[in-house]
């Protein structure tokens, strides 16, 4: 039988009600998908069917001519961010080039489902119909499907600007290896030499996605003065603000991020995933 909690403890060992439980189970919690602003239009993203391919041509003319379509955007509608531009986040910061790729592909696609174009229309059905009219010519490239294949000397290079960090002299040729880090504690060689027995093994850990139930959802509104308000299921309100500002080349003072309820995140909703396209 566990010991009785100390009377001085206010939380440990006590049955506390979840402060957000009632609004969630009664449907009162407001998620981005629940918003319906006056005159709101709907947007959809066209996604890549390839894991690795070069984008040869995108023709959006037929989609733009469809009745009810208000705008069609591609990477050409965004300024190209310089390689190496980062924003503060964690130990290494966020590479804005990669953040931009999460929102819309420019010259290559690197995973199945990467956005390549966006459509805004009077309703979701017109937006979906317009996606089918966008013509994209791809040059399929060989993908790499696991870590060992990516690190092989003959592996196709995914990002031509990536030079391996942590290696001296610094490589001049691009590589799929982002960086190398060595961690040493004590005299490992001496300990192994003096051990009664040693074992060598290789452990492979599969990719695990956060697996949240709610997909990325965002609503953007830009007023006559250029002030953009974004309602999103984001875990990083100020990080999202900075990322959108950098992608669109606008001052942060012209952005307002309003995070709503999140249907799961676990870190996967810190970076932006379409918010910049919605504002554009």
Reading the chain (280 residues) residue by residue, the pLDDT tens digits are: 566 656 778 888 888 888 889 999 999 999 999 999 999 999 999 999 999 999 999 999 999 999 999 999 999 999 998 887 888 877 667 889 889 999 999 999 999 999 999 999 999 999 999 999 999 999 999 999 988 999 998 999 999 988 998 899 989 999 999 888 888 889 999 999 999 999 999 888 887 888 898 988 999 999 999 999 999 999 989 999 999 999 999 999 999 999 999 999 998 898 898 999 999 8
pLDDT in tens, 4-54: 656 778 888 888 888 889 999 999 999 999 999 999 999 999 999 999 999
pLDDT in tens, 228-242: 999 999 998 999 999
**Domain 32-143+207-279 in this protein, CATH class:** alpha beta
Strand, helix or coil at 70? strand
Nearest to 275 by CA among 221, 226, 223: 221
How far apart are alpha carbons 96 and 277 in whole angstroms?
A: 15
Buried b (16+ CB within 10 A) or exposed e, 19-38: eeeeeeeeeebeebeeeeee
Could you tell me the CA-to-CA distances from 219 to 119, 263, 268, 274 in Å, in that order?
14, 16, 18, 10
How far apart are alpha carbons 1 and 3 in whole angstroms?
A: 6
How far apart are alpha carbons 25 and 189 in whole angstroms?
A: 57
Would you list the domain boundaries of the chain? 32-143+207-279
């Amino acid at each position: 039988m566990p010991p009785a909690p100390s009377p001085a403890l206010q939380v440990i060992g006590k049955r506390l009600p979840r402060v957000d439980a009632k609004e969630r189970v009664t449907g009162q919690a407001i998620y981005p998908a629940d918003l319906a602003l006056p005159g709101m239009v709907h947007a959809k993203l066209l996604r890549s069917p390839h894991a690795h391919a070069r984008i040869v041509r995108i023709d959006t003319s037929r989609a733009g001519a469809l009745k009810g379509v208000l705008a069609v955007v591609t990477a050409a509608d965004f300024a190209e961010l310089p390689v190496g531009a980062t924003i503060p986040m964690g130990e290494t910061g966020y590479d804005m080039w990669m953040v931009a790729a999460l929102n819309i592909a420019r010259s290559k696609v690197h995973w199945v489902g990467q956005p390549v174009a966006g459509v805004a229309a009077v309703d979701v059905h017109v937006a979906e119909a317009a996606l089918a009219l966008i013509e994209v010519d791809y040059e399929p490239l060989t993908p790499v499907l696991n870590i060992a294949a990516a690190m092989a000397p003959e592996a196709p290079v995914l990002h031509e600007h990536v030079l391996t960090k942590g290696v001296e002299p610094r490589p001049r040729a691009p590589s799929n290896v982002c960086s190398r880090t060595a961690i040493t504690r004590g005299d490992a060689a001496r300990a192994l030499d003096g051990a009664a027995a040693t074992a060598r093994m290789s452990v492979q850990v599969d990719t695990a996605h956060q697996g949240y139930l709610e997909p990325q959802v965002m609503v953007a509104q830009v007023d006559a003065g250029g002030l953009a308000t974004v309602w999103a299921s984001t875990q990083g309100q100020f990080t999202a603000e900075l990322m959108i500002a950098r992608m669109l080349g606008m001052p942060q003072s012209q952005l307002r991020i309003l995070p709503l309820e999140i249907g799961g995140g676990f870190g996967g909703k810190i970076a932006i995933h379409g918010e910049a396209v919605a504002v554009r």
